[in-house]
Structure formats: structure tokens, C-alpha cells
Chain A
Amino acid sequence: MDDYNYQHFPPTGEKADKFETFFDAPNVGTIAPDLALEDLESGEPFHLKDFWKSGAVLMEFGSYS
């Protein structure tokens, strides 16, 4: 966990400016992984698959920094 939430940028051992980790992620045309996230508003767990039952979902990843 400590390595993931690194103390200093750039994170050691990660190629933060490259795309290698992105290339390992699922490809367009395949099925996205379903993971549980926490809804900030309700505090309840939310499964990604619940989004795509009825339509599309646009997911932006990020943080305040």
C-alpha cells in the first residue's frame, strides 16, 4: 500500500511518464473488469457493472493533486 500511495513524485519503480502500464490494461473491444468502488456521497460500495446495464459510463480517473 505504501508503494502505491507514494511520498514523492515520480514514484520509484514505476514508469509514470510512459504508457507501459496502460498497455497491460484491457483493450478496446473487450469487456471491462468489474470492480467495487465506494460512492463518496452515500459511502456505499458500488460495482462498475451496475453502470453499464442500461447505458454507457464515462470514467475519468484522477485526484486533486
Chain B
Amino acid sequence: MAAEAMEDIAEVYADRSVRSVFVYVREAHPAENLPPLASMEQKRDHARQFRKEQKIKRPILLDDMTGSCHKAFGTLPNMTWLIGRGGLILYKAAWTRPDDVVAALNESWGGYQRRREDSLMPAYSERMIWRAGEDDRFIELSKRAGPQAIEEMFGKDGLKQAYGDKGKP
């Protein structure tokens, strides 16, 4: 749900030695129009549709069918990881919140780049962040996947919100 803002971030930080990619994993809310993935060709088709309709400019990398990469990085549906030179993990977020990503880029990657000239030493912190529920937005965006995605999150009330009293498209 943060892909558009992440596109902007990718563009801004591209000239600061940060390459941005989108890792396409399993369908989080499979439904009629975006069914569960059964083959790599289907995954390619879904990813191409995503790239075209969401105007994604970042390279899209496809995980394998068993989710090897997804599982190695935590299996959650909308994570963001920032990895520095040599593979050093600088930031990991269980949910992508663009303003938090920007803060991490400025602090973690910015500090890494300035560490010698500013005599910086690494330190470590953890914190809870909060994200908006965005139920209305989820329902609107999930129309592209299909009624199943909406019903499995919000039941019949969600279907009525999406499609009116008839509860279906």
C-alpha cells in the first residue's frame, strides 16, 4: 500500500548510492482476480500487472515459489529492509511506513557514509512504531484483487462498503 511513496523515495535516494527494489512474494490477499500463485509464470504475470498499473519503476525481483527469500527475511507481507555495503543490515521494518524509511535512510545510511569523517561509532536501537489502520483504503484497493480479499478481512460489511447493498461487483 506504500508503493507509490516508495517510488518517490527510490528516486530521491538513487543519487546517494541507494538502489531500491521491490521483491515480489506470495499474494497476501489472494482472490478472484489475483488468485494464489501456482507457478512462476503466474507470478511473473501478477508482477507485470502490478508494475504496469501501479507505474512501478524500481526493478522487481521475484522470489521463488517456496518463498525462500521471503522466509529468510521474516515472511511478513509488507516489510522494508535497508542493507548497507557488505551486506550489513542497517534497518528492518515489519511494515513499510515511508516516513520511517526516510528517517532510516538519513540516520542509518547517512551515518554509515559519514562515519569516518565524523568519527561515528555504531549503536543499536529498537522501537515500536504505529501505522494507520487504513481500512477504507484497503477495501478500495482490494477491489482489484476481488471480493474474496475484502470478505476475508471485513466480512459482509466490507462487501457492502465496497459494492453497495448487493455486496458484489
Contact = CB atoms under 8 A, between A and B. Distances in A.
Given A35-B69, A60-B21, A65-B27, A7 B59 contact: no
A30 B82 contact: no
B36 A59 contact: no
B89 A29 contact: yes
A30 B86 CA distance: 10
A24 B19 CA distance: 25
Interface string A8-48: 11100010100101101111111111110111110000101
A23 to B, nearest CB: 8
Interface residues of B, number: 85
Given A5-B37, A25-B73, A28-B89, A54 B25 contact: no
A63 B83 contact: no
**Most A CB within 10 A of own CB, among B13, B28, B34, B70:** B28
Given A28-B89, A39-B59, A22 B76 contact: yes
Contacts of A28: 89-92, 124
Contacts of A41: 59-60
Contact of A60 (B3, B31, B67): B3
A53 B22 CA distance: 19
B83 A64 contact: no
29 contacts: A5-B36, A9-B29, A22-B75, A22-B76, A22-B94, A24-B74, A25-B92, A28-B90, A28-B91, A29-B89, A29-B122, A31-B86, A31-B87, A32-B89, A37-B62, A39-B60, A40-B48, A51-B19, A52-B84, A53-B85, A54-B17, A57-B21, A59-B83, A60-B21, A60-B78, A62-B77, A63-B28, A64-B53, A64-B144
